Structure 1
Amino acid sequence: MNAWKKMLGVALVTTAAPLAASAAEISGNVTMATDYVFRGYSQTNEKGAIQGGFDVDFGNGFYVGTWASNVDFGSEVTTEMDFYGGYAFEVAEGVGLDLGFIQFIYPGDEAALNYQEYVASLSVGDFSFGLVYSPDYFGDGGGDATVINFDYSLSLAEAISMDFHIGQTNTDEDGLVDEDDSYIDYMIGVNYDVADVTLSLAYYDTDVDQVAPNADGRYVFSISKSL
């Protein structure tokens, strides 16, 4: 899930869309990163990633989108494709609610890893609280999972901002967090907008970095551009 994925993120749920617009708006994004980290785990075996996606905002709160990245799970799976949609609206001044659905697809693995997530996100100013439920986490007969996310964005200057994230994943999926069924991930990042691109440096870590592969602390540098 960066992107809401990814960041599933990165993630992938859009912010509240304008309630009044005359036509659908299409936007895109592309990112190059030194790693693809999703909920504290490297999805590229600590290697670089090229990512991108498109979003359609229908101007009435409804939106759909798609996003993709390379992955490396030590198997024939090399690509992740996400398809998502939802409805975002303002429930009070400065308070937004986003209800969405995400389909994760991993071509080349005969749908073994494919799974879905149902997402609810509440934003208040620069704070957001998200709740995620998956009935078949990471597919292949995996158990269900719930994820709680807290995020905060802080503007330091016109072109500089910081992102803070902490999340807790609870799952029955075997082997995801060794013998535990719950773990915490967190991220601190700084962003700098220059020449129509965003340069970001983020530090990711989890509380299972001693027992889970690819879940140890790391810095990730990325370059992103909106299209």
Structure 2
Amino acid sequence: MKKILVPSLIALALGSVSGLAQAQAAAAPESSLSFNVGATTDYRYRGISQSRLKPALQGGVDYADKSGFYVGAWGSTIKWIKDSGASKGTTEVDLYGGYKGAMGDVSYDVGVLRYQYLGNTLGDVTGFANANTTEVYGAVTYNVFTAKYSHALTNTFGNVNSKNSYYLDLSATFDLGNGFTLTPHVGRQMINNTPLASYNDYSLTLGKDLGNGLSASAMAVGTNADTGPYTLAGKYNGKDALVVGLKYAF
């Protein structure tokens, strides 16, 4: 559910997806292979904690071809699957690929993302489907603004009969100088056939490039998610919080 580190936190989630690691910039002029490792005080994806409001370890690898095509993988420790009553499912691995390009002042990013929850048994729990989820996505960026739409081709994160659910993400990235960036975000998660599981999320992330591949972030995040579907093991995973993360890219 990608990535932080955030969301991308946004996962620094800047993906916790889940982070979910997908940069939304035009293709680099040369091919590149990069790696990242990091930690966050709470893995948030689309505003919801994947780690029971606890810290998570994360890391990934990305290959970007000079043609604009890219592939990558990213992983994180999680708790929500076992908290739902499954006997297995403590690791999320996201596999993704796509194409980035530009038309004039507008850059775009299209691709497919598979959320794989290793060995998960969530489908054996009454009221749940298998957690593994596949989405296609498209994003456009103009100046500092980005809009992204993700559409599920399968059941969505363990929700029964939830194929064709979607997520709409609106964000902006402001360069504050001296290595600081500020990223406001709002999103809408729609879960097909389960209205109580649909919700809005919002965040404000302050990032800092510390140099030599090291970056840090602090994210204020919250949702209006119903407490019923998103309370597991006695914890409401959509509560307002401040999430801090550290990532090293090389």
Tell me the secondary structure at the aligned position of residue 143 of structure 1. Answer: coil
1:193 aligns with 2:192: no
Q: Name the counterpart of 2:224.
A: 207
Partner amino acid, structure 2, of 1:115: T
Does the CA-based 8 Å contact 2:137-2:149 persist in structure 1?
yes
Q: Which runs of 5+ in 1 are unaligned?
A: none
Q: Name the counterpart of 2:103.
A: 91
Alignment size in residue pairs? 220
Judging changes above 3 Å, is the alpha-carbon distance between structure 1 residues 15 and 187 closer, same or farther for their aligned structure 2 residues?
same
Judging changes above 3 Å, is the alpha-carbon distance between structure 1 residues 194 and 118 closer, same or farther for their aligned structure 2 residues?
same
* One of 133, 137, 153 as aligned partner of 2:151: 133
Judging changes above 3 Å, is the alpha-carbon distance between structure 1 residues 86 and 141 closer, same or farther for their aligned structure 2 residues?
same
Judging changes above 3 Å, is the alpha-carbon distance between structure 1 residues 15 and 180 closer, same or farther for their aligned structure 2 residues?
same
Higher strand share: 1
* One of 126, 131, 134 as aligned partner of 1:113: 131
- Percent identity between the two aligned chains: 25
Q: Name the counterpart of 1:64.
A: 71
After TM superposition, list the pairs within 5 Å mapping 1:158-177 onto structure 2. Answer: 158-172=178-192, 174=194
For normalisation by structure 1, the TM-score amounts to: 0.89
Tell me the secondary structure at the aligned position of residue 180 of structure 1. Answer: helix
* One of 134, 141, 163 as aligned partner of 1:123: 141
Cα distance, 1:14 vs structure 2: 2.8
Tell me the secondary structure at the aligned position of residue 156 of structure 1. Answer: strand
More relative contact order, 1 or 2 (CA 8 Å, 6+ apart): 2
* One of 10, 17, 20 as aligned partner of 1:11: 20
Judging changes above 3 Å, is the alpha-carbon distance between structure 1 residues 60 and 180 closer, same or farther for their aligned structure 2 residues?
same
Cα distance, 1:158 vs structure 2: 2.2
Judging changes above 3 Å, is the alpha-carbon distance between structure 1 residues 226 and 173 closer, same or farther for their aligned structure 2 residues?
farther
- Tell me the C-alpha RMSD between the 2 structures: 2.0
1:221 aligns with 2:244: yes
Does the CA-based 8 Å contact 2:17-2:94 persist in structure 1?
no
Residues 104-157 of structure 1, C-alpha deviations (whole Å, 9 max, x = no match): 100121582111010000001111000010032114744121111001111111
Cα distance, 1:92 vs structure 2: 1.2
Tell me the secondary structure at the aligned position of residue 169 of structure 1. Answer: strand
Does the CA-based 8 Å contact 1:17-1:60 persist in structure 2?
no
Q: Which runs of 5+ in 2 are unaligned?
A: 124-129, 232-236
